[in-house]
Amino acid sequence: MTVMPAAHAGTPAQPPMPDAFNLTTVATDPAIVATNTPTNFVITVTTPQVAGTHHIRIILPADYYTNTGKRYPVLYFLHGASDNPANPYLAWPAVLDASARSSMITVEPDGGLRGWYANWLDQGTSAKAQNWENFHINQVIPFIDADLRTIPDKAHRAIAGLSMGGFGAMHYAQDHPELFSQVASLSGAIDLSRDSMDVRMAAVGTLTNGAGVLCGSASDPSCPSGFGPTVSSDALFGTPYPFSVFYPFSDVLWNAADPSTHMAKLAGMGISIYVGNGGGNPVNMEFWAESASGHVKANLDALGMPYHYVDYGNGAGWGACDGGHDGKCWAADMVDFVPRLEAAFGA
C-alpha cells in the first residue's frame, strides 16, 4: 500500500485508497511522501495497462475533512511531455495553486513522458505496455469515484491539460463525451492532422528521442535528456506519413485521433482553449500550439459551436505570462479557467 506521512495531532489522515479496478497501490518515494499533505498528496500505483509505476497527485478542497457530508466535482488535469505529476516544479505550481483554492477535487494522473494519452498501436516495443487511455478512463476515474466523495456524473466532471495534455484532454473528451461536461486545452497539441505536421513531428520526436524538436536545440538545458526507450515513429498511431507501404497504410490512425477535425464530437460540452504565440519564434513550441489552436477555432466556427478562446499573444496583460510555452502562462490560464469551471459546476 502507499506510504502515507505521519499525521500531526489534529491533522486528518489522507483518505484510504485500497486496491481496486486492477490498480495496485505501492510504496511512494519517501522524498515525495515528505511533501505530501492531507489535501495535496501523491499516491503511486501499478497497472497491467502501462508498464512501470505511476504517480497520481490528488488535491482536495480545503473543507474536505470538515464538511464530511459534502460531495465534490472533479477536474482531471493532464500534464505535458517530459513532465510528471509528482514533480511540484516545472508547470505544476500554477496548477497546484489554482486547484488548492478551488471548490473541486483535482486529480493529476501520470501520462508518461510521451504516453500521448492513447493506447499505442504497437504494444511490443521496448517501452512495453502502453495503454494510457485504458489506464485513465477505465481505472483511474472509477478508482477516484470509489474512494473520494465525488459527484460521479458527467455534469460534475471536467478534463483539461497542457501541451501534450491538451491533446489528451480533447482526445478523451471526444472518445468519451458521456464522461465529461467541460474540456480545456492550455497550449495544447490539439491538431495532429496534416494541417499541423510540425505538431505531429513533435510527437514523433518524443517517440524517437528527438528532444530538439520540442525546444529548438537538444543542447538547451530545458530539453529532456530522453523520453524513455527509443521506439519507432509508428509505435503510437502507425505511420505518421501521408503515404506508406506499411500497415496501417498511410496516416489514417493519426487522422482518426486528431482532435481538430472531430470537434463535432464535443457538441454540448463547454470548450476552453488558451494559447500564446511564443514571441513569434518558430522554434518555440507555443508558436506551433498557436497554429494548432487556430485550426481548432476555425473548425469550431465552421460548425457554429460555442467556445471560450484566449490567444494572449506575447502575454502582455495576461498575468506574468511571457507568451511562451511555460508555467507562467499556464498559471494565468488557470486563474481564468478555474472560476469559470466552478461556475459551470454550480459551485
SS3 121: coil
In this structure, is residue 9 part of a structural domain? no
Domain of residue 179, CATH code: 3.40.50.1820
Q: Which three cell numbers, joined as nine digits, stand for 152?
A: 460521479
Q: Mean pLDDT, to the nearest integer, of 243-254? A: 80
Tell me: pLDDT of 218 over 70. no
Strands 50-59 and 308-311: unpaired
Residue 307 contacts by C-beta under 8 Å, 6 or more apart in sequence? 271, 272, 273, 297, 300
The count of structural domains within the chain is: 1
User: pLDDT, tens digit, for every residue of 98-149?
Assistant: 777 889 999 999 999 999 999 999 999 999 999 999 999 999 999 999 999 9
Tell me: pLDDT of 244 over 50. yes
Strands, E assignment, the chain: 24-26, 40-47, 50-59, 74-78, 105-109, 157-162, 182-186, 270-275, 308-311
In this structure, is residue 325 part of a structural domain? yes
In this structure, is residue 274 part of a structural domain? yes
Give the pLDDT score at 91: 56
Amino acid code (one letter) for 245: V
In this structure, is residue 234 part of a structural domain? yes
Tell how many helices (H) and how many strands (E) occur in the chain.
10, 9
The separation between the first and the last C-alpha atoms of the chain, rounded to the nearest angstrom, is 33
Q: Which three cell numbers, joined as nine digits, stand for 168?
A: 489528451
User: pLDDT, tens digit, for every residue of 325-338?
Assistant: 999 999 999 999 99
Ranking 7-16, 108-117, 177-186 by mean pLDDT, the lowest is 7-16
Amino acid code (one letter) for 20: A
Q: Which domain holds residue 59?
A: 24-345
User: pLDDT, tens digit, for every residue of 58-99?
Assistant: 999 999 999 999 999 999 999 999 888 887 665 566 777 777
- Give a three-class secondary structure readout of 153-194: CHHHEEEEEECHHHHHHHHHHHHCCCCCCEEEEECCCCCCCH
In this structure, is residue 13 part of a structural domain? no
In this structure, is residue 187 part of a structural domain? yes
Query: CA 347, CA 152: separation in Å to the nearest integer?
Result: 15
Confidence band of 234 (pLDDT split at 50, 70, 90) = very high
Confidence band of 151 (pLDDT split at 50, 70, 90) = very high
Tell me: pLDDT of 5 over 70. no
In this structure, is residue 324 part of a structural domain? yes
Query: CA 131, CA 219: separation in Å to the nearest integer?
Result: 31
Give the pLDDT score at 169: 98
Residue (of 345, 327, 346, 313) closest to 98 by Cα position: 327
